[in-house]
């Protein structure tokens, strides 16, 4: 299997975030299924990248505390000459994403305008 780089969003994806930001250093509890998936991917030999609007020190401390294996935080040094604003990865996992699947412009606009994060759908 080819080694891939998987980019995981932090708040709301790796953590149990309910839409209420509590501060840059206050972080919610881990989402067990997402953390389990990260561990499985690492055992398969893939690289894990965490991207967030939070600073690296908070991310690194949280991942160490919760024993989450991560290769990179907010950047991919393997491709750091391209665009430092978005880390390069094969796949991105994010709670606030709409997947482009070849929709028409009207379908895409409708999907974007009606998007709700999963925790607001409950």
Which domains, from first to last, does the chain contain?
5-97 (3.40.50.1000)
Q: Per the structure block, which two tokens stand in for 20?
A: 């209420």
State the average pLDDT over residues 45-58: 94
List, for residues 60-113, the tens digit of each pLDDT value: 999 999 999 999 999 888 876 666 678 889 999 999 999 999 999 999 999 999
Please give the residue that has the higher pLDDT: either 57 or 23.
Answer: 57
pLDDT for 95 equals 92
pTM for this one? 0.88
**Residue 10 reports pLDDT greater than 80:** yes
């Amino acid at each position: 299997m080819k080694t891939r780089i998987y980019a995981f969003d932090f708040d709301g994806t790796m953590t149990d975030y309910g839409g209420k930001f509590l501060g840059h250093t206050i972080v919610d509890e881990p989402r067990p299924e997402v953390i389990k998936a990260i561990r499985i991917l690492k055992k398969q030999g893939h690289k894990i990248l965490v991207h967030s609007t939070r600073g690296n020190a908070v991310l690194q401390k949280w991942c160490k505390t919760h024993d989450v294996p991560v290769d990179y935080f907010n950047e991919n040094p393997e491709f750091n000459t391209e665009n430092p604003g978005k880390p390069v990865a094969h796949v991105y996992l994010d709670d606030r994403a709409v997947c482009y699947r070849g929709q028409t412009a009207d379908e895409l606009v409708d999907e974007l305008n009606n998007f709700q994060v999963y925790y607001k759908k409950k």
